[in-house]
Amino acid sequence: MRPPSSWVRDCSRRASRRLLATIANNQPPIPQTIIEKVVQKYAVGLPGGKVVKAGDYVMIRPEHVMTHDNTGPVVSKFKSIGATRIHNPSQLVFTLDHDVQNKSPKNLAKYSMIEQFARTHGIDFYPAGRGIGHQVLVEEGYAFPHTLTVASDSHSNMYGGVGCVGTPIVRTDAAALWATGKTWWQVPRMVKVELKGRLAPGVTGKDVIVALCGSFNKDEVLNAAIEFTGEGVSALGVDDRLTIANMTTEWGALVGVFPVDQTLLKWYDGILKKLESRTFASSPGIPPPPSHPRINRERLQFLRANNMTSDPGAEYSSHLIFDLSTLVPHVSGPNSVKISTPLPELEAKRIPIQKAYLVSCTNSRVSDIAAAAAVVRGRKIAPGVEFYIAAASSVVQQESEEKGDWDALVLAGAKPLPAGCGPCIGLGTGLLEEGETGISATNRNYKGRMGHPNAQAYLASPAVVAASAVNGYISGPDSLDPQTLPPIRPPTFSIAEEGSSKASASSSTAKEPLLPDFPAFFSGPLLFAPQDNLNTDGIYPGKYTYQDDITLARQAEVVMENYDPGFAALVSTLIQDQKKVAETISLPKDTKQGVILVSGYNFGTGSSREQAATALKAAGVPVVIAGSFGDIFKRNAINNGLVCLECPELVSDLTEAYAKDGKRGAGGKDGELTVDKGLHIRVGMEDGQVVVTGGLPGVESKKVYNVKPVGASVQELWLCGGLEGYILKEIQGQATI
């Protein structure tokens, strides 16, 4: 499938060939999921009668687009593509939240520049200290039920907790939205997650998503849009829903939406009362205060009168069922969200901790802080343990202070941090040091994310984090009554297939016409990283992410540092060897040389950092072949001219031949993290043939694989150097009309 024809340039003389589902006369309406209906509302340029379905490429004009500390690089991209005017200032929201502890002149200057840009262009701006952007968007109504709001951050899934279709974009997409008000998106496959039963006392939304990540850990929801349904949903409070939706990102999904029900509508009634109480009470004869621009009675009345649900017969790629009543508190880790363990099992091991964290957009709301405060009241943080707390927003902190919960944590010995991301993203005070173990109420425990790569990180609910901080080891609160919990065993879950939308990336052997100057072949030495879920922190460490002036050359030097510190040097050596050969042998003009990286499944999972793609490309890797890709990484790659191809058969053969014990996850047979066995690979971009030579075990000289070639839209982005160059040409083309 391809992006809509409006995204295929006239100079290519090629029309989009994607098939459209249309409504013929006198035919019944095509059923849609609630997510498809919302996308339909925000899709632009659709042909008459087009019904948006999973798999479609559509142009979207979101309600809002949020950027945070990465606004600086987006400003640079916006200016570099020749744009001078924001298409729709009211669409944009700037929130400074990631590096708020950094008081260096350089960071303060960056923050000042972002604020000045916002003021100049009339963009809503929230300064450092106001809170984490995702929380602010919910509090201020930018994320609102039945709307589509995007953000240049992977945890925009969180907006689904309030019935908003939130999905991540990357920085280049943000620049495109600033300039044009729209960008392209492929509607993900739909997955229904049915929640049955009710949670036992002391079990929380965090336990639900930690258990879901650990139970369905075979990519069941990878790159999917999740719709939560079932009678269990109504018993989940909105804070629990926000936590679950937030961590659908770690589960692998692109969207995670809860229904708009009475629980949510009553929650909004409470928010509206709080907003109205911000002003002085009106007296007779004094006009009432102005309504909030996004959360007001008129909008809520319209929502009640026009609530949307999925149609009977709507299609889902799969149907997952999870029984909440069988769940006990769970802990994630160490260093992986795909490992979840019942709390009583870990508590029995008395795993000592040195740091604990109640921070992030996942679990630092008023109810979370109250749960932690209830645990520590009258007690002290254990000797040798540092307990860091940061509210999700200044509004949250103010309310928690009024309730006495914030002071209870501080009096117990917790160390307060400003409202913001901080340790969750590996920035500021209190990071994990080498050899330390920490437990956190955040959303990610990837190796090296919250500090040293040789630290151990666990995830749990706020009450469990607070109890662990008081006891000095991973443990639950005293209030957790075993008599009220279900038996300690894995929760009950199942899968009910409902049709199939899965297609093999290598099933198509049809030739793909090539645009002029697009390489017919990519060729070079093959490197194999035998690892599934190789995340963006492993590809490009978070500590470099917000160094906005870092050069591509420097990115190339640190690429894969958290996965294999020797990777960059190895690639550099191979590239130099290629150059020496090119000086003596005339290479085909239709072939692009470089190092071809092959890895496992869900390559590039994790955050939305664009540098994970640009660093690989800068190092000399023009193509990555994997079993599958994290969707955000693939989008970043396409937008920056890095070719991504899926070839499960090749991954399987390399795993069997070179991975330790024939399994991915523990490096090569000789202990190396990146396997280099002198193999050569040639990828045909017209016919999709991948030829590996150099002696795979059991193969005399070569073996041929097949991949699905990239289409004209991806080719054109590559020729333009990425989406940024493409938009520049579009702007220049419009200027000549």
Residue 1: how many other CB atoms lie within 10 Å: 13
Domain 330-479+489-493, what architecture? 2-Layer Sandwich (3.30)
Structure tokens belonging to residue 186: 């492929």
Hey, which residues does 227 pair with through a beta bridge? 192, 257
For the chain (737 residues), the mean pLDDT of every run of 10, in chain order, is 37 32 57 98 87 84 97 92 91 96 95 98 97 98 98 96 95 89 87 97 97 91 95 97 97 96 97 80 70 95 97 96 97 94 96 97 97 98 98 97 98 97 90 96 91 95 98 95 89 74 41 88 97 95 88 96 96 94 82 97 88 96 94 87 94 96 94 95 95 75 87 78 77 64
What's the number of CA atoms in the CB half-sphere (13 Å) around residue 636?
29
pLDDT of residue 710: 80
Quick check: do 330-479+489-493 and 521-732 share a fold? no
Helix (H) or strand (E) holding 302: helix 297-305
Sign of CA dihedral 261, 266, 267, 273: positive
Domain ranges in the chain are 34-270, 330-479+489-493, 521-732
Task: Identify which of 570, 588, 593 has the alpha carbon closest to the alpha carbon of residue 678.
Answer: 570
- Over 392-423, what HEC string results? CEHHHHHHHHHHCHHHHHHHCCCEECCCCCHH
Hey, which residues does 625 pair with through a beta bridge? 598, 645
Phi, psi of 576 (to 5 degrees): -65, -40
DSSP for residue 685: T
Residues 6+ apart with CB under 8 A from 173: 150, 152, 183, 635, 639, 723
Cα of 373 vs its chain's centroid, Å: 30
Structure tokens belonging to residue 237: 């409070």
User: pTM of the prediction?
Assistant: 0.76
Distance CA(223)–CA(628), nearest Å, equals: 10
Distance CA(115)–CA(92), nearest Å, equals: 13
Task: Identify which of 169, 161, 166, 185 has the alpha carbon closest to the alpha carbon of residue 56.
Answer: 185
Phi, psi of 644 (to 5 degrees): -120, 125
pLDDT of residue 96: 97
Distance CA(678)–CA(526), nearest Å, equals: 7
Domain 521-732: assigned CATH number = 3.20.19.10
pLDDT of residue 281: 56
Check: CB of residue 194 under 8 Å from CB of residue 258. no
Residue 697: how many other CB atoms lie within 10 Å: 9
H-type helices in 620-676, by residue range?
631-639, 648-658
pLDDT of residue 49: 86
At the topology level, CATH places domain 34-270 in: Aconitase; domain 3 (3.30.499)
The DSSP-derived string for 28-93 is PPPP--HHHHHHHHHEESPPTTB---TT-EEEE--SEEEE-TTHHHHHHHHHHTT--S-S-GGGEE
Specify the 3-state DSSP secondary structure of 172.
helix
Specify the 3-state DSSP secondary structure of 515.
coil
CA torsion angle for 206, 236, 250, 381 (degrees, to 10)? -20
The CA-atom distances, in angstroms, between 235 and each of 163, 230, 238, 243, 257 are: 16, 10, 10, 14, 16
